[in-house]
Structure 1
């Protein structure tokens, strides 16, 4: 609010007598003396109206309840004493202006506005009207600000909203995602951003900005991010209201990009066409304005669901200026990027520090021609699996163990022969399903029944039954090293 003690004094033709509160202290309310209980907000002034004789009696009674005037060293001036009387933190407003009243206020160090042109009920009503008009004006400023921010959002999105908000607050603004990663900022330096992250994540560091405010973007159950602002303006209420409304607008903007069911299906069809390969895949990429002769596959995953992988990847691709060639299902997000952007994508993944210790993992395949991208996609998934198992953030297929490099050299009949070993394990839908996963976990645990059962979440007897069934269907024996090797190569060749 813009209404302060100086403005109030001018409006009622009074004289401000500052003591505990200065003339530039903003005002947020008015109360009759007999109804006053406590100052609502210590950063604002609460006006008090009433009879000056009653005020002097209350001040004298409060003084009498404190130290005795007979105490040693008492000078009779207790303006700096703090006896806990909340009335001393208010501002007395009256049409009276007598030496006795000024002396009582001086002794207690209480701020006042004296000699107003109105008194009694008329004075109280005038003050109430002034404060109500000021609040209405502040509401209009917030409404006008949101209208402008909405128009700006249509033209420039999140970045434009942050810039306009910082300008209107006469300060800075920082937008973070739910993991505390920077989305955008305006007017903020490196230390400002550091403080914003600390406040958002509750880290124990000293905040350097008194006027700093934190606003959640989204609800507690579906948090999209944090908006942290700081203002040099004295109108904290106005800035708080504007920032809160801006947080709601940013929530809408961040969620506007969430793909609908139709878009999800379209992306899945796109990836399926690219996996199938051939001229249709190349032609589809050209329609997508992708004319590169080869692309690199990636797979992005996490061990927890607290990270919104799709939203994170979309922001990364926008930052890189890359096409959104990806699809997400129940598992990791997989897609393709231009070869020169693969390492930049890896750097973004390495730099991410999500909240709560959660981590993302990225697997990168080898570059492949646009007509045969399926092989790179399988490589990316294998690299991701290795990253998840080894706890690495980024893993590249070209750095996988020798067995994977051997598989990459197998094409045509040798590779098909390997994968056909697992065909008997397919379920009615054609997927390897439960038995395929059981075989992979069992072999990755070096045949350990206890550790394999623990990873699968089943009883050891159930695991033994599944292994016997796998051996019966495939003709392989898990007791023979050659058969275990063949089964492992078949799993990797099939991308399991």
Structure 2
């Protein structure tokens, strides 16, 4: 609630008398002075109205009634030295000199509190709708980030054993506090404003949601976090495919990359009847979008089999060529939350027994879209060097890539020298920019480039050698550009 005692004093044109209750304290209730019998919460203030005689009579009923009454805030049109003396004697705060009196004052306060509750309810309802939409697109991680933003604080999601599932805001900095509060451990908590919400029912327990806010709207935050906890219970049960399914799909896609009769037979058993497929690669700069769930929904809309596998930040798969335009339209029309964006790379259509080349092309097209900030990029629309590589034979590409075999390690894989060369050429030989992108000192960059020249026999000072090195990198395809 945002309706605090300072607001009450301003609305009724009164003066706030602080006898122990801050004027920033939010209000949660209203009662007649003779009917107020229970202190609802130490964190909120309850307003009481009535005459000065009724207030004195209440105090005269005994110590227990006086103690309860003094915890409320008296609102009255009266403001006399005698009334102030009574209030001071019992340590009771008040709003005095109100512009209305009697029933008019009481009903005006009731209307103000009702409006405030309604506004708070609307904020909780709209916040819950947004959290649901965010969870559909980005899963628990994105929903946690949105929740932390809406409560102006941080949030930590723990499983039933107190292990971290997700956090947002400064949640990781307060992880020990969150665990202590959630699990009831005897640890000194350094943040007094924590709230803990159970995720799941007592019979089907999932975990804990711990939140903290800099805002004074405690009630609204509690309501929104409670709704978020129920949402996380659903998300945690449904958001990811099983590990077995993921690994199985990854193995199947690798068979397709290998090609041949085995790939053809696999697709037939998978229910795919097309003679050609087109590879795609979909990715984003952040992990606030659940790409696997997004691709599942898109392929359902297109009415095709789920031939894809998800890697961190990237989904690779295949679709029929005649649906490529629709897939590009879905990628272009998607509006992720925040400043992030989706990037789609598409290879050339290929026979179902030779899909590996299309997959490499899709990754190259994705890299180009990612660097350019484009929503979609087809391999056929890449610059001329890609067409050159596309028309030469596999043996010639292997021979061209062999120019850089000297950079392979003992295990046969390319290492940091190849990555250094790729960045150096991508930055047009600019030492400062290349070193910054690699996160190394300029002198370290110079040493690595000299080592590349020694191992390959190329000179980065000669344009022809730089061109040969770049063509060799491109000929290596995904091997060079995904390290």
SS in 2 for 1:353: coil
SS in 2 for 1:452: helix
Please point out which of 333, 337, 343 is paired with 1:361: 343
Do 1:419 and 1:493's aligned partners in 2 also have CA atoms closer than 8 Å?
yes
> How far 1:179 sits from its partner (Å)?
8.0
Aligned to 1:33: 35
Instruction: Find out whether 1:250 has 2:264 as its counterpart.
Output: no
Instruction: Find out whether 1:277 has 2:259 as its counterpart.
Output: yes
Instruction: Find out whether 1:431 has 2:427 as its counterpart.
Output: no
Please point out which of 294, 310, 315 is paired with 1:328: 310
Equivalent residues in 2 for 1:472-491, closer than 5 Å: 472-491=454-473
Q: Distance in 1 between matches of 2:447 and 2:351?
A: 43
SS in 2 for 1:427: coil
Do 1:296 and 1:338's aligned partners in 2 also have CA atoms closer than 8 Å?
yes
**Residue deviations 1:178-216, cap 9 Å, x none?**
489599xxxxxxxxxxxxxxx98979xxxxxxxxxxxx9
Aligned to 2:384: 402
Aligned to 1:65: 79
SS in 1 for 2:338: helix
Q: Distance in 2 between matches of 1:398 and 1:173?
A: 42
Please point out which of 146, 149, 166 is paired with 1:221: 166
SS in 2 for 1:33: coil
> How far 1:366 sits from its partner (Å)?
1.1
> How far 1:292 sits from its partner (Å)?
1.2
Q: Distance in 2 between matches of 1:282 and 1:61?
A: 82
Q: Distance in 2 between matches of 1:347 and 1:465?
A: 46
SS in 2 for 1:357: coil
**Residue deviations 1:114-137, cap 9 Å, x none?**
xxxxxxxxxxxxxxxxxxxxxxxx
Please point out which of 382, 400, 414 is paired with 2:396: 414
Do 1:217 and 1:247's aligned partners in 2 also have CA atoms closer than 8 Å?
no
**Residue deviations 1:212-240, cap 9 Å, x none?**
xxxx99789357xxxxxxxxxxxx9xx98
Q: Distance in 2 between matches of 1:175 and 1:315?
A: 19
Q: Distance in 1 between matches of 2:411 and 2:34?
A: 78
Instruction: Find out whether 1:310 has 2:289 as its counterpart.
Output: no
Aligned to 1:446: 428
CA 1:430–1:276 in structure 2 vs 1: closer, same or farther (change >3 Å)? farther
Do 2:49 and 2:75's aligned partners in 1 also have CA atoms closer than 8 Å?
no
> How far 1:54 sits from its partner (Å)?
4.1
Which ranges of structure 1 fall in alignment gaps of 5 or more residues? 1-26, 68-82, 90-103, 112-168, 184-198, 204-215, 224-235
**Residue deviations 1:37-76, cap 9 Å, x none?**
689999x99999xx99947999999444389xxxxxxxxx
Q: Distance in 2 between matches of 1:47 and 1:61?
A: 5
> How far 1:451 sits from its partner (Å)?
1.5
SS in 2 for 1:327: strand
CA 1:375–1:402 in structure 2 vs 1: closer, same or farther (change >3 Å)? same
> How far 1:475 sits from its partner (Å)?
2.6
Q: Distance in 2 between matches of 1:275 and 1:431?
A: 20
**Residue deviations 1:312-340, cap 9 Å, x none?**
33343344333332223456332222223
Aligned to 2:360: 378
CA 1:179–1:343 in structure 2 vs 1: closer, same or farther (change >3 Å)? farther
Q: Distance in 2 between matches of 1:346 and 1:492?
A: 25
> How far 1:253 sits from its partner (Å)?
4.3
Aligned to 2:117: none
CA 1:61–1:357 in structure 2 vs 1: closer, same or farther (change >3 Å)? closer
How many residues are matched? 345
Do 2:135 and 2:235's aligned partners in 1 also have CA atoms closer than 8 Å?
no
SS in 2 for 1:430: coil
CA 1:323–1:54 in structure 2 vs 1: closer, same or farther (change >3 Å)? farther
> How far 1:280 sits from its partner (Å)?
1.0
**Residue deviations 1:142-192, cap 9 Å, x none?**
xxxxxxxxxxxxxxxxxxxxxxxxxxx9xx967645489599xxxxxxxxx
Q: Distance in 2 between matches of 1:62 and 1:283?
A: 86
Do 1:180 and 1:355's aligned partners in 2 also have CA atoms closer than 8 Å?
no
Aligned to 1:288: 270
Q: Distance in 1 between matches of 2:230 and 2:130?
A: 12
SS in 1 for 2:282: strand
Aligned to 2:334: 352
